[in-house]
Structure 1
Amino acid sequence: MSDYYDLFLAVDLSPDLSESALQELKWLLGQGGMPSAPRSADWETWGHPWQVFAGGAASHAFDGADVSLLVAAEDRPRPEGGAPWALTVRTCVHEDEFGVVMEVVEWLLRQATTEGWVGYVRDTATEEVQHVVRHHAGFDLVDVRTAEKRFRITWS
């Protein structure tokens, strides 16, 4: 049985994205045509490019759906001008594709303006969760360990 990863990202991207970066991002989300030379990953190593964040279907290995949405955050303009692009992605990633997807995540987070927590990765094999934390020098996957319960809500 194969392992799968549940990947969730929620970030703001620069309002000054280049036209080529915006075209590639829309293609990765399944919202546009493929660019002539995708730069988000070393696609030759992986065989061929594909729309890694195209959503709109039930997740293969997790409850819920794979989704992706990119919108201009018009109600949150930046002080220096322009509205950031707001992006949310939730996708199921096969273990064989994890490396290329993380290359795409790196490319994506280079375009981001969000600092700190930007998402998580969950593994079907272990059920372990890692936070995705972006900082000025890159991003980290940080292990999540249950240390204490802060509160509990009981359904009646």
Structure 2
Amino acid sequence: MSDYYDLFLAVDLPPDLPEPVLLELRWLLGQADMPTELKSTDWESWGGPWQAFDGGSASHSFDGADVSLLVRAMDRPNLDGSEPWALTVRACVHEDDFGVTMDVVGWLLRHATTQGWVGFVRDSGLGQVRHLVRHEGGFDLVDVRPVGQQKRVPWSSR
């Protein structure tokens, strides 16, 4: 049985994102036709390109749905009044596609303005969670390992 990865990203992108990047991003999200030139990764070494972040269906291996949304952050304008792009992606990724998908994530994060925590990756096998943390030099996958007993705070809707 194959493993799958639950990928979640939430980032802002600059308001003046270059048109070729915006076109490729929209294609990756399943919102546009494929551009003539793709820069997000070397797709040919992976058997050809696909819309890695296309959402809109139930997740193959995880509860919930795979979704992708790119909108202007009109309620959070920059100091100069410009509106950044807000992107959220939740995608189920097959283990064979994990490497190329993380190449695409790296390409995307090179264009992002968000620093620090930008998402997580969870595997279907062990349920291990790794945080995606963006910094100036790229991003890291940081293991989540509980130390000792986890503190639990019960939540009640009463």
User: TM-score interval w.r.t. the shorter chain?
Assistant: over 0.9
| TM-score, L = length of structure 1 | 0.96
Q: CA deviation at 1:80?
A: 3.5
Q: CA deviation at 1:152?
A: 2.4
Deviations 1:112-138 (A, max 9, x none): 000010000000111000000001111
- Structure 2 counterpart of 1:145: 145
SS at match of 2:151: coil
- Structure 2 counterpart of 1:118: 118
* 2:34 is the counterpart of 1:12: no
| C-alpha separation in 1, matches of 2:155 and 2:83 | 37
| C-alpha separation in 2, matches of 1:4 and 1:31 | 24
Q: CA deviation at 1:47?
A: 1.1
RMSD: 1.3
Q: CA deviation at 1:151?
A: 1.7
Q: CA deviation at 1:143?
A: 0.4
SS at match of 1:99: helix
What code does the residue aligned with 2:95 have? E
* 2:2 is the counterpart of 1:2: yes
Say how many residue pairs are matched.
156
- Structure 1 gap segments, 5+ residues each: none
| TM-score, L = length of structure 2 | 0.95
SS at match of 1:10: strand
What code does the residue aligned with 1:17 have? L
SS at match of 1:103: helix
| C-alpha separation in 1, matches of 2:117 and 2:52 | 21
Q: CA deviation at 1:146?
A: 2.3
Matches within 5 A, 1:95-106: 95-106=95-106
- Structure 2 counterpart of 1:107: 107
Question: Cα–Cα, structure 1 residues 155 and 73, in superposed 2: closer, same or farther, change >3 Å?
Answer: closer
